Amino acid sequence: MEDKKLLFPLLLFGIFFVLIAITGFFQITIIKRNIEGLLRSEGETLFRSIAREIEMNMEYLTLIEKSPSIITPNFLNVMTYDEAIVDDLYSQFTKSTEADLNASSLTNILVTDRAGKQLMRKGSIKVSKEHLDLLEKKERQTVIRMPSGEDHSLFMGIKLPDRLIFFNLTPTELENLRKVYVMKTILENEQKRLDIAEINIYDASGNVYLGSEKRPKDVFSIMKPLNSNYFPNYSMEILVSNKLASDTFKRTSVNFVMLLFFLMLGGAGGIYVIFRLDRKHAERLSEIEKDMVIKERLVSLGKLASGMAHEIRNPLNAMSISIQRLKREFVPEQEKKDEYYRFLDIVRGELLRVNRIVEEFLLSTKAGMAMERQVLRPIIEEVVTMLREKAAAAGIEITDDTGGEIMLECQKERLKQVFYNLITNSIEAMTAGGSIQICAEVQNPHVRISIKDTGPGIHKEDLSKIFEYYYTTKDKGIGLGVPISYMIVKDHGGDIQVLSEGGKGTTFVITLPLAKKGT
């Protein structure tokens, strides 16, 4: 039966787990597509912005060449670019061999020795004697003629330890180099401003015009034709950092796997908890049913007791008075006097015993008595005082460790009856002496009172019957003390448990609610 109960939540969890896994897989796929879509959209937006910036600045550059007085952006200073071109060519040519110079894209190059004798010529470059003298006689390292007036070319001479290098940039070559530098500046500015990983420009042949052939990691690439009037058939590639998106996707995937793991773990734990709760619930129901049966029996007994007690007490009183008169007024002859008194004492003792049983019945049924705030310690002290002499006579030591100002909302006399019954039980169980320890521990919002003895204990098979009325293992007694105590504790909203093993003593644990503050 329990296996069938467990099968349904297992099946339900399995279906739920599979649905979650399928849904999660599709969600991760959708997230990946959305991330790629966002990156593509971002890349296209950046591409349009940069392409527009390039086109606009190339138009400015063309206008500058036609009309130098036009107002342009700060970075479009032609003189600055020309100076940068000169610096770069100087660095390049001072390290170049003759083969490098022959392979150079420049049209006009002349190399001479220090005396002016030609070593290599490329193109139709002409060098005046004035320029040669400036380098040789005036000890200058370079000679430069910047574009001016009608002459839009750029001339430069460089003195090296073993030779002189001269080159002349034609207007077209100079314009192309200016475009490269303007484009480079635009790309650097936009790359910093827009936080782009890399921007590459490719010429019509697919070779790198500007940028790097090395590709950084974790990037999303978008490459499209530049569609520029100034760079026909060129294309631009924008590499957008994909690290954040990649990390997000990885985190999402890892989190989902962890979710499935913990879901599986939690599901298994949940099913186990359900199984345990179901078992505990069944055990609790069994205990409640047992408590109900005991309480119903005790209530029935209480009603019977309250009805019969008054009828019994009247003849008991009459019999007690009659015994006193017999003892006082009807004294027999001397030889029968001792036996006579002994029998009267026996009758009187039994009458007192019957009267005590009736008193216990009456006290146990007074559930409707008003609750009062009482300190626990004095209640227990009164009971211990009453029973200390009886315990001492049996060689039993009672230790009261309740202590503290533990406040209860209780019916004092009924609660005294509980402690009286349980301590008496312990005393009567220890025929060879021993000890009884009483202690209390506050466990908000309850107090836990334990009465522990060193007696012979209760066998396991007898523990389940301890709260049944008329059940007793003693030669004397009628088995009402513990059931009555149980009912009184329950009426106070508490509980009572018994812990015992044969030969290891017995502990009664009483749990009672503490008085609420301010009541």
Q: Which residues contact 175 (CB under 8 A, 6 or more apart)?
A: 65
Euclidean distance between CA atoms 124 and 138, whole angstroms:
26
| Cβ 452 vs Cβ 435: under 8 Å | no
Residue 1, pLDDT > 50, answer: no
> 305 versus 45: which is more confidently predicted?
45
pLDDT, tens digit, 9 for 90 and up, residues 213-227 = 777 777 788 888 988
Strands 396-401, 434-443: pairing kind: parallel
**Cα angle 33, 34, 36; round to 5:** 65
Q: With bands split at pLDDT 50, 70 and 90, how would you rate the model's confidence at 405?
A: confident
Give the domains, in start order, of the chain with CATH numbers.
88-176 (3.30.450), 370-513 (3.30.565.10)
Q: Which residues contact 58 (CB under 8 A, 6 or more apart)?
A: 179, 182, 228, 229, 230
Q: With bands split at pLDDT 50, 70 and 90, how would you rate the model's confidence at 511?
A: very high
pLDDT, mean of residues 137-161: 83
CA distances from 450 to 236, 277, 390, 436, 497 (A): 87, 28, 20, 10, 9
> 263 versus 93: which is more confidently predicted?
93
Residue 159, pLDDT > 70, answer: yes
Residue 436: what pLDDT? Answer: 92
| Cβ 483 vs Cβ 467: under 8 Å | yes
Residue 9: what pLDDT? Answer: 64
Report if pTM > 0.85.
Answer: no
Q: Which residues contact 15 (CB under 8 A, 6 or more apart)?
A: none
For the chain, what percent of residues have pLDDT higher than 70? Answer: 80
**Token pair 């006082």 is at which residue?**
328
Question: What is the SS3 assignment for 421-489?
Answer: HHHHHHHHHCCCCEEEEEEEEEECCEEEEEEEECCCCCCHHHHCCCCCCCCCCCCCCCCCHHHHHHHHH
Q: State the DSSP code for 148.
A: B
> 337 versus 451: which is more confidently predicted?
451
Q: With bands split at pLDDT 50, 70 and 90, how would you rate the model's confidence at 471?
A: low
Reading the block at residue 258, the tokens are 């962890």
pLDDT, tens digit, 9 for 90 and up, residues 278-324 = 778 777 777 777 767 666 665 666 666 566 666 776 677 777 777 77
Q: With bands split at pLDDT 50, 70 and 90, how would you rate the model's confidence at 3?
A: low
Residue type at 214 in one-letter notation: K
Residue 496, pLDDT > 70, answer: yes
pLDDT, tens digit, 9 for 90 and up, residues 341-359 = 777 778 777 777 777 767 7
In terms of C-beta density within 10 A (0-12 exposed, 13-18 middle, 19 or more buried), how is residue 165 classed? Answer: buried
Reading the block at residue 268, the tokens are 């298994």
Residue 435: what pLDDT? Answer: 92
Q: At what angle do helices 334-364 and 412-429 cross, to 10 degrees?
A: 130
| Cβ 200 vs Cβ 212: under 8 Å | yes
Residue 508: what pLDDT? Answer: 92
Q: With bands split at pLDDT 50, 70 and 90, how would you rate the model's confidence at 469?
A: low
pLDDT, mean of residues 418-439: 89
Residue type at 1 in one-letter notation: M
The helix/strand/coil state of 232 is: coil
> Which residues are 453's β-sheet partners?
436
> Which residues are 448's β-sheet partners?
441, 511
Q: Mean pLDDT in the chain?
A: 79
Residue 510: what pLDDT? Answer: 93
To 10 degrees, the CA torsion angle through 405, 411, 413, 414?
-120
Q: With bands split at pLDDT 50, 70 and 90, how would you rate the model's confidence at 361?
A: low
Distance of CA 237 to the CA centre of its chain: 44
Residue 377: other Cβ atoms inside 10 A: 15
Q: Which residues contact 375 (CB under 8 A, 6 or more apart)?
A: 405, 406, 407, 408
Distance of CA 461 to the CA centre of its chain: 47
Euclidean distance between CA atoms 469 and 492, whole angstroms:
20
For the chain, what percent of residues have pLDDT higher than 90? Answer: 6
> Which residues are 34's β-sheet partners?
none
Residue 365: what pLDDT? Answer: 60
Length of the chain measured in residues: 519
Reading the block at residue 285, the tokens are 């129901």
Euclidean distance between CA atoms 182 and 191, whole angstroms:
14
pLDDT, tens digit, 9 for 90 and up, residues 6-43 = 566 667 667 777 777 777 777 777 777 777 788 788 87
